[in-house]
Each structure stands twice: as structure tokens, then as C-alpha cells.
Structure 1
Amino acid sequence: MRLSLILAGVSAAGLTLPALAQTTPPATPAPAPAGLAPAAQPTETLREAMVKAYRTNPDLTAERANLRADDENVPIARSRGLPGVSSTGSYNENLYDTDDSGVSPPRQGSVGVNLSVPVFSGGAVRNSVRAAETRVEAGRAGLRSVESQLFTDVVSAYLDVLRDEATVRLNQQNVRALDVNLQATRDRFEVGDLTRTDVAQSEARLALAQSQLRGAEAQLIASRENYIRVVGTAPGELASPPPLVGLPASPDQAVAAALEENPLLEGTRKAREASAYDVRVARAARLPTVSVGVGGDYYNRFGSIPGPGRTAGLQNDGFATSAGISLSLPLFQGGRPAAQVRQAQARESAAIEQVTSAERNVIAQTRSAFAIYQSALRVIESSRVAVEANRLSLEGVRAENSVGTRTILDILNAEQELLNSQVQLVTAERDAYVAGFAVLAAMGRAEAEDLGLDGGPLYDPVANYDRVRGSLSDWRDDPTPEAEATRTVNTPAQNPDVSGPVDPQPR
């Protein structure tokens, strides 16, 4: 199950994802946050934000480049076991020689070609290639992990903006209500129905509400700027996110899936496999190496052979060829091979421990995210009850105040309690959605694969590997690197403007 199944339950804003077959029935979908729905007509969906981030986020494009660099380690390792061809050229001018017999020519030039073919290297080449290939697989898992983390960041940034917009609207509504209360309190004070204390209490509570609104607006600006950092563009009117499906029924189910599919854990396991090949490469330094060499030279003396030399039969030019087998058997290297083997073994030991560490982290993160998700669902239930209860309480307190059984302070306190419960509700809805997505990410089910993005195919990490693995050219460079990610320097500074109230019922 991939992201196309995770973000199901398409919203009215047009969040459409390709339908894929499910091998197992998903758990009951988590509802989309109702309190986070924008008031205005939405112009951007969560899926569209993910598409933008997938195309233009610099962290992801940099990780792709790192993987392409890892791909090159395979042809580099293979090249050590392939034939090598070199050419040589020289020109010598004999200026003065006290032992000159008058036979040797004073000048000579030569051009040669040499071919060397490694025959046996103790397994160093074979194991180096295997280690490089395994590290490429680890790099692909790392790229999947970066993709998963990026989508998690997009979800968090997206929901942060929705939460903070709702919080600003709630605080704006609270300020308006308190301003009306203050005007009514002043009017009643003028006719002697209330005291100066009642007016002061209303003024103080309005000032506090205004300061809370300023803080909420600052937080909204920060969330919008963070959205720009992750997605690459400013948020428009964001649509309510669709429900999450495929969530596990228990933490044990989530952990079992995470241990099988978590990309970070898979990458750590591949790194451990590669370290075992490194030990074999180090051991090969103690074994003999065999190579076969063939060479050919053309020489020319430029007509400089003296008379005695010509009489002796020296030719002005000619060819010389040679062939041979080279065997190198190390007998003593000062302990270096053993040190290299022990070093590789120590690194393999570290890689083994890192797998255990990664496994612990994955288990802890998965269980924690699941616990946060479950807790947030409970908070949502309680907060909805609290909102309705506080709304009824506020209406009752106002009615009782009109007949003199409640004070202005009682109304102000009821207003504040209603605001607090509303803010707690939208915060819990945000926390539940982000935590639910984090659970899916830990399970390896929040990646770009099978997302079906519009505007082009997904990035294929295998394509570059296939392109370079068998390359034998010494002159096949890639084009000069250019930036792929988009810059945000021209994005205007964000403001706290929001549209429409989040609470349809008047206060």
C-alpha cells in the first residue's frame, strides 16, 4: 500500500488519486479534520502540495544526486578488473658522452602501446563490486526514506497552516465578541446597571484576547513560511485533507510492518551486508596477484646513425614487441594487511550494531506515533464534547446575566473556556492526522512509489545505474550540474490574513 491508498477519501476540492488493488483490507479510515476546513474556496490540495515538494524540494534532489554518485562506485570497482591500455612516447638527444663509441645514434624517438590484463587479484575486484552494488541498494533505501520524511514534513506543514488559520479565526471571533461585550458593558455602566469594575474586567479581557490574537497571527506567519520552505510555494486556500486509510489496528501490527518495510532500516541492513564484502576485500591484500602484459613500440633514430653504426647493421627505425606474465606474491608488508582486515571487521561490527540501533529507533518511533495518534483521537472526542458544552454554558451564562444571577466576569470566563476548547479541538485534529501519517511513514507506506503524480513520471533511481554501470568510456562526462530545486527568494513575505469564521455558529 502506497501513498495513493493512504490519501484516499478524496475531498470535494478534487484530490483524486489512482485506485490500486489492496491485498489486505485497511483499518477504518481516520476522518479528515473537520475543524481545519478552510472557509474560502480551496485552491490547493494536500496532494498538489506533495507533488510540488516531490519535484522541487532541494533535500530530495540532493539525495538523488548523492545516489547517482553512489552508482558510480560500481563502474569504478569494476574498472580494477578490466584490461588497461596505455601509450608512451619519448624523444632523446645525446648531447655528450665520454664513452661514446661512435656506434650509438645521438637521437632517438619512440612510440609504444601497452596492454595489461589483470587475471587474479585474490577476489578484491569481485568483492569490491559486490560491496558497491550493495551500497547502491542501501542508497536507494535511503532515497525512499528521504521521500517518506519529505511527505511527512509536507503533511505537517500543511496541517500546521490549517490549524493556525483556524486558531487565528477563532481568536478574531473572540476579539469581536469581547469587543461587543465591552460596548454593552459600557452602555450598562452609563445607565448605572453595572459598576466600573465590570468595565475594567471587560477591558482587561479584550486586551488579553488581542494579545493572544497577535501571537496566533505570528504563529500563522511562521507556519506559512515553513510551508514555503518545504513545498517551495506560498500556500493558497488549502483544502481539508482527505482521510487516512490503511492505518494499523494495533501498535504490534504497525511495528511488524515497519520491521519489514521501513526504508531506513532496510538501508542500514544493506550497509551491514556491504561491510562484510569490505572484509573480504581487505583479506585479498595478502593473496598473490597475476596479470598479463603485451606491449609494442615503434622507434625512429631520425637518420642519426653514424657510419660505424650503419656498418654494424643498426636500422634507422623499427618495431619492438613484448609479452609477459607478472606474478606478485606478498611475503611481508609490515602488518598492514592484518590491520586492514581488523579495521574492516570492526566496521562490520559497527554496522551490525547500527542495524540494532535503527531497529530500536523504528520500533520506538512507530509505537510513539501510534500512541500519539490514539491519544489525539481521544482528545478530539473530548474536545468536541467540551466545545458543545462550553457553547451551551456561554448561552446559559448570558441568559442568567440578563436576569442578574450572573456577573460580567462569568460571561468572560465562559467566553475564554469556549475559545480554549475550540483551539484544543483544531490542535488535536492536526496532531491526530500528522501522527497517523507518521505511523504510515514508519511502516514504509508513505513513499512516492505508485503515487501517480501528474506532470511526468516518478524519479527512477535505477535508470542512472543502468546507464553508468557498463560504461567503459574514459571521456563520458555528464553535463555541468545545474540547480533542480526552486528558490524561494522571490516569494513575498507572508501575512496573517485569513478569510471567514471557522465557527459557523454565532457567539
Structure 2
Amino acid sequence: MTAKNQLSGRCALFLLLSMSAAMAGVAQAETLQGALAKAYRSNPTLTGARAGQRATDEGVPIQKAAGRPNIGANAQFQELVVRPSNQFLAPHRSANATGSIDVPIYQGGAVRNSVKAAKTRVAAGQADLRGTEASVFSQVVAAYLDVIRDSAVVALNQANVKALEVNLQATGDRFEVGDVTRTDVAQSESRLALARSNLQTAEANLIASRENYIALVGEVPDALQPPPALPGLPATPEAAVQVALADNPDILAARKIREATRYDVRVAKAGVLPTLSAFSQGSYTDYLDKDIAANKQVAVGATLTVPFYQGGRPGAQVRQRQALESQAMEQEIEVERGVIAQTRSAFASWQASLESIQSNQKAVEAANLSLEGVRAENSVGSRTILDILNAEQEAVNAKVQLVTARRNAYVAGFSLLAAMGHAEADDLNLNAGALYDPMVNYDRVKGKWFDWDFDPAPRVQSTRTVDSPAQNANVDPGLAQP
């Protein structure tokens, strides 16, 4: 897939999602774009990941601090309680103040490479944040479609129960006049009981889906609108894999982690190199006695440290970092393999679901025709009550499978976009205000050097759902027509 095609696909995705929001005319109706925007603003997994990335950003100024001057001072007051016999002239009390400045000049490259490793880990963390966005959005899409699917399944089962209740009443009436047998009545009662059991299961599934939606989005699902089409999907699994290898955030994060471990090896190798630092020290001692003059001292100099033997520690540290670099290299391949498998699997699931939709659509049409025919034939005595019950059950099953296939196709398509790295906030044109840019915080903190430069106390960014009402299984009966 060319860059031009990818760009046009993303633009089309922007347009369709925006049109979906603009065309939602039902009061308080929710669109998929709106649900994603709410999750983007207040989902605790996302807001927590952003906080974690801000913590990673601080690794850069922390490593830079090792190459900056270190300034310190201390003060001491001393009261001589018992004077030694050979120091009868020693003052009873004294006050002393000292100050020092240490300036690292050369640290064997440890500081430089530690800063580079920290910067690389910031880039890896930003890629991980992209991956978290895609993961949360995939969960929201699945939860959104689960509510739509389970609402339709409940409506279908409700309609089936009502139809079987009417059928049981009619069968009972015919039994009273001797038109059918007691067996026919028993069969109708059995099917009605099973239908009610299926309805209860469907209602429980719907409640669970709605509660899961609340956990992800933070609000109650209300009149969810059909999702827009998913443009920009690849024509072949090979095309999908090529895009994923270039854009998948998990691969980018693993690559950056591997680069960071290379700098870690260089930091460890600095342990066998000389270090040079400059220093300045001063002290002032006042004996708090008029007869004894104060003592002042100032010294400047440099310290050169040349390690000759450290018990084998540096060699072990270098080998350890090299082993970790080797591990990171293997993990990069592992992540790449996983992404390739995930992309191909999502493509296959998407294609299979599309074919399943067509097959189930035909099954629904055939089941409806069959049910009409069986009812007509029963009216002239050529079909039994059991035949009608079987035909009704087949029609319900076909409709349930159809709405399930539609849900599976959309979720698989979005999962494919996520595996390709094209299911993040920048791709979806979310109506969520300004998007979170992790570079803003990094640029803010990367050059900070003041010891007392603190941030305000953190505040919760996500929303709680404790006040949301417990969900029920009430649905629009019109959903019984998939």
C-alpha cells in the first residue's frame, strides 16, 4: 500500500466518522466516534499510561544531572563540655561552616550515553502510549458492538417468546376442540420454556455488555447508532503486514528499547575509564572567643581517578548489559512475529466474517420463507406443530447468527487497523478537543535543572462510574429486525 493510498484512506476515515457524528439525529444518541472520544478523555488506562510516560520523560533530566555541578554546604556548632587535660587552651565553643563545589569534567562517556539511553526510552514510551491508545480503542469498539449485538439478540428472543406464547395459546385452543393432541401442546410448552431461558441468558449478556461499556467509556450506553464503515482496509494480508511493519507502535517501541540497551552497554564500559572532576572547597571556623582568631580556608583543585582493578565488577556489568541487549534484540523479533501473526489473523477473521454475513443473510431470508411455508402447510394439515416450532427456532437462530457476524466483521476490521498502527487518536479525528501530545511534557522537562522545580500535586484525570445506574436489559422491540 503506497503512502498516497494510506493518506487517502485516513482522510476517508476522518470524513466518515465526522459524517456519522453529524447525521446522528436521535436525541441523546451516541455514535462510535463519540464513545471513542469519551474514552480518550477519561479512560483510566489511557490517563494512567500518560502519567507513566511523564515519569519516563523525567529520566532525561535525571541522567543529565550526573554531568552538572554539585554544590553543597554544612554548618556545625560545637560546645566543649569536658576539656582534655592536654588542651587547656582549647576554646569552649566554636561554629564552623564549609562549602564545596564539584564539577565533573570527564566521566568516561557514562553521562552522555546515559542521557542518550533515557531519550531513546522516552521514544519507546511514546510508541507504547500509541499502542495503549489502539488497545483501548479496540476494546471500546468491541464493547460498543457488543451492546448493539446483544440488544438485537434480546429483541429477537423477546419476539420469539411472544410468538411462542401466541402459538401455545392457539395450540391449546385447537386441543380443546380436538384438532391437535396433548403431545402438540407439550411440545409448544417445552419450546416456550426454552425460549424464556434463552431470553434470560441474552438479557444477562446484554447487562454485562452494557456494564463493560461503562467501565471503558465512563458513561451509560444510550441509543447507540450503527457504526460507520471502516475505510482504508488492505486488499491482501501481505499489504497489511507491510503497513504494520512500518507503523505498528509495538514494533517501534521494541526497536527503541533495543537501541537503549546499546547505550547501556557503553555506560557500563565507562566503568574502566578514567574520570576527571574539578572541585572548590572553603571553610570558616569561628571559636566564639575574642582572644582566638577565626580560621578561614579556601582550596581549588582537580581529581583524576584511574581505575586499575575493581574485582571484576566492570567486566561483569558490561557482560550483563550485553546480555540484556541480546535479550532486547530477541524480543524485538518476538514482537515482530506477534504483530505479523496478529495482522494476518485479523485479516483472515475480517474476511471470514464478511463471508459469514453474506451466508447468514441468505440463511435469514431462507428461514423466513421456510417459516411462512410451514405455517401455510400446517393450516391445511400437511405440517405438524413441531414443524412450525422447528422453523421458528431456525429463523431465530439465523437472525442471531447474522447480527453476531456483523459484530465480528466490524471488530475484526478495526483490530486489523489497530495491528497496522492506524487505529489511534490521530487516525480517528476524535471530537475530543486538543489531542494529548506527549512531546509537550517532554519538551517542558528535558532541560530543567533547578532542584526546587516541582509540579503541582497530581489530580485524577479519569472519571468514576460508581454513580452510574445499574444496567437493565430493556431494548427497543424494533431491533428484532436485523
Match of 2:86 among 99, 119, 130: 99
In the alignment, does 2:273 pair up with 1:287? yes
Say which is worse superposed, 220-229 or 469-478, in terms of deviation.
Answer: 469-478
TM-superposed CA distance for 1:158, in Å, is 0.0
> 1:499: which partner in 2?
476
Q: How many residues align?
A: 474
* 1:270-285 equivalence runs, <5 A: 270-285=256-271
Q: Distance in 2 between matches of 1:283 and 1:219?
A: 59
Q: TM-score, normalised by structure 2?
A: 0.94
- 1:65 maps onto 2:51 in alignment: yes
Q: In the TM superposition, what whole-angstrom CA distance separates every residue of 1:307-352 from its partner, at most 9, and x where no partner exists?
A: xxxxxxxxx2353211010011111111111111111011111100
How far residue 5 of structure 1 moved from its aligned partner, in angstroms, is 4.3
Q: State which drifts further: 468-477 or 372-381.
A: 468-477
In the TM superposition, what is the alpha-carbon distance from 1:382 to its structure 2 partner?
Answer: 0.3
Give the distance between the partners of 1:97 and 1:242, measured in 2 at CA: 92
Counterparts of 2:12 and 2:296, CA distance in 1: 72
* Aligned partner letter, 1:292: A
Query: 1:455 Cα shift?
Result: 4.8
Asked if structure 2 preserves the Cα contact closer than 8 Å seen for 1:118 and 1:292, the reply is yes
Deviation digits for residues 387-442 of structure 1, max 9, x if unmatched?
A: 00110111111111111111111111110111111000000000000000000000
Q: What is aligned with 2:441? A: 464
* 1:171 and 2:157 aligned: yes
Alpha-carbon separation, structure 2, partners of 1:183 and 1:382? 34
Q: How does 1:248-287 map to 2 (within 5 A)?
A: 248-287=234-273
What CA distance in whole angstroms lies between the structure 2 residues aligned with 1:10 and 1:276? 43
Residue in structure 2 matched with residue 14 of structure 1 by the alignment: 21
C-alpha separation between the residues in 1 aligned to 2:397 and 2:466? 37
- TM alignment of 1:108-187, pairs within 5 A: 108-187=94-173
State the partner residue of 1:20.
none
Does the residue aligned with 2:16 lie in a helix, a strand or coil?
coil
Instruction: Tell me how far 1:15 sits from its aligned partner.
Output: 4.8
Cα–Cα, structure 1 residues 41 and 294, in superposed 2: closer, same or farther, change >3 Å? closer
Residues 171-320 of structure 1: matches in 2 within 5 Å? 171-305=157-291, 316-317=293-294, 319-320=296-297
Alignment root-mean-square deviation, CA:
2.0
Q: 1:373 to 1:7 in 2, by over 3 A?
A: farther
Deviations 1:47-78, CA, capped at 9 Å, x for gaps? 11001111111111111111011111100100
Instruction: Give the structure with the larger helix fraction.
Output: 2
Q: Which residue of 1 aligns with 2:4?
A: none
**One of 359, 375, 381 as aligned partner of 2:336:** 359
Instruction: Return the alpha-carbon distance in structure 1 between the equivalents of residues 134 and 50 of structure 2.
Output: 14
Q: Offset at 1:7?
A: 6.0
Tell me the CA shift for residue 295 of structure 1. Answer: 2.0
CA distance in 1, matches of 2:428, 2:349: 26
Question: In 2, distance between residues paired with 1:146 and 1:11?
Answer: 23
Secondary structure of 1:14's counterpart equals helix
Measured in 2, the distance between the counterparts of 1:89 and 1:454 equals 59
Q: For residue 462 of structure 2, give the secondary structure of its aligned residue in structure 1.
A: coil
Residue type matched to 2:190 in 1?
A
**Is the CA contact (8 Å cut-off) linking 1:233 and 1:488 kept in structure 2?**
yes
Hey, which bits of structure 1, 4+ residues long, moved more than 6 A?
A: none
- Asked if residue 329 in structure 1 is aligned to residue 316 in structure 2, the reply is no
Can you list the C-alpha shifts for 1:283-310, whole angstroms capped at 9, x where unaligned?
111111100001222332222536xxxx
3-state SS of 1:116 partner: strand
Alpha carbons 1:13, 1:42 under 8 Å: kept = no
User: Is residue 20–residue 228 contact of structure 2 (8 Å, CA) maintained in 1?
Assistant: no
Q: Distance in 2 between matches of 1:425 and 1:128?
A: 57
In the aligned structure 2, how far is the partner of 1:368 from the partner of 1:474? 51
What does residue 51 of structure 1 align with?
A: 37
- Tell me which of 76, 80, 89 is aligned to 1:90: 76
Q: Cα–Cα, structure 1 residues 42 and 416, in superposed 2: closer, same or farther, change >3 Å?
A: farther
Identity of aligned residues (%): 55
Unaligned runs of 5+ in 2: 1-6
Alpha-carbon separation, structure 1, partners of 2:151 and 2:445: 49
Contact 1:185 1:198 in 2 (8 A): yes
AA aligned opposite 2:307: P
**Which consecutive residues of structure 1, in runs of 5 or more, have no partner in the other structure?**
17-36, 307-315
Secondary structure of the residue that 1:299 maps to in structure 2? strand
Paired with 1:262 and 1:333, the residues of 2 have a C-alpha distance of 44
With over 3 angstroms needed to count, the CA separation of the structure-2 counterparts of 1:92 and 1:504, relative to structure 1, is closer
**C-alpha displacement at 1:189, in angstroms?**
1.3
Q: Deviations over 1:95-125 (max 9, x none)?
A: 41232273x5443322232111100000000
| Aligned partners of 1:7 and 1:244 also within 8 Å | no
CA distance in 2, matches of 1:187, 1:57: 56
Q: Distance in 1 between matches of 2:37 and 2:137?
A: 9
Question: What is the Cα deviation at residue 12 of structure 1?
Answer: 7.4
Partners of 1:160 and 1:15 lie apart in 2 by: 23
